[in-house]
Structure formats: structure tokens, C-alpha cells
Amino acid sequence: MAELKIRGARERDIPRMQEIFEMAKQRMRAEGNLTQWKNYPKDELLRLDIDRMRSFVVTDDDEIVATFVYMLGVEPTYRYIEDGAWLNDEDYGTIHRIATDGKHKGILKLATEFALRHVRNVRIDTDEKNVSMRAALEKLGYVRCGIIYVADANGDHEPRIAYQLVGE
């Protein structure tokens, strides 16, 4: 295994990214998380993220093994938080849609380190039933801040546990 590298995603990466999302969904379903990422993400959203230069892939010897979105600036769904509060009001980056092929460890840590090179605060959210993600976040030092709501494909607002990490 070569060193894992991060690069900007390209449109031709979308089929492999979708394979990775399917693998991640299968793992989530096996862990009892039956609803997160149902019919999501669509190719159009992946293209939009690529066009906005906020979609990234992790490679091992040029093979894509993981994908994530990293964006700087205000995340609209994070404006309202209940049952808690963000750790601070400083500038932050957000990691979304992080998924791996399941064969490589440390992808969340790698994405977090990438994010911290750009900004001191990193925010992320996940479904309450995504137990393995919640454990990984807490292991890396992310702090549970409260509940935010994301719009699903039907326009309903689903609760997500919101986390924040404050770097050095």
C-alpha cells in the first residue's frame, strides 16, 4: 500500500465515487443505520461539488479508495443548532459525505488533517445511528455540540448530531 493522497475529484471519478457510497451504505445498513443516504447522493450533486472545487478523493496508487466534500465558509444547515451550541463562532470548514471503500483505515483522520491545514475549526454531522462514525469522530477529539437538521430528498428535515473540532 502506497501513501494515501488527496486530490480534487473529477467528473470521470463519479462512477467510482458512487461505488464507494454504495459500499458505505451497505456498512451503515449492516450496523442498523437504515435511512442515512437513502437514494443519495445523486450524480448531479457530485458534479456540482466538483464544479465548486469542494469534492475530493483519496487515492492509493491512483486507485480511489475514499471520497469527501470539504467546504469553507458558512454551512446553511449549521445556522440553527438545538440541544447545545457550537464551540465558538470563528470561521470553520465543513466535511460532508465522507465515505471509504472499507479497506483503508484513517480516512476521517486524513480528511480532518486536510481541513485543519485551511482553517482552525472543523464541523461535521452524522446520523444518530451511524455508531462507527460517531465513535471515529470522538476518537479524533471532535466534540458533540447539538442537533442540526438536514433536508432529505423529500424536503423533510432530518436530525443529525453535530460535531466540532478546534485545532491548534
The CATH number assigned to the domain holding 70 equals 3.40.630.30
**Position 153 pLDDT exceeds 80:** no
Q: For the chain, what is the domain count?
A: 1
**Position 99 pLDDT exceeds 60:** yes
The conformational region for residue 78 under phi > 0 = left, psi -120 to 50 = alpha, else beta, is alpha
**99 contacts 108 by C-beta, under 8 angstroms:** no
Q: Which residues contact 94 (CB under 8 A, 6 or more apart)?
A: 69, 70, 71, 75, 78, 122, 123, 124
Q: In this predicted model, what pLDDT tens digit does every residue of 32-66 receive, in sequence order?
A: 877 778 778 999 999 999 999 999 999 999 899 99
**147 contacts 159 by C-beta, under 8 angstroms:** yes
Task: Report how far residue 77's alpha carbon sits from residue 79's, in angstroms, rounded to the nearest whole number.
Answer: 6
**Mean pLDDT of all residues belonging to the chain:** 93
AA letter at 145:
C
pLDDT tier, 151 (very low <50, low <70, confident <90, very high otherwise)? confident
**Which residues in 27-142 belong to E strands, given as ranges?**
55-60, 63-72, 93-100, 121-126
Domain holding 109, by residue range, is 5-166
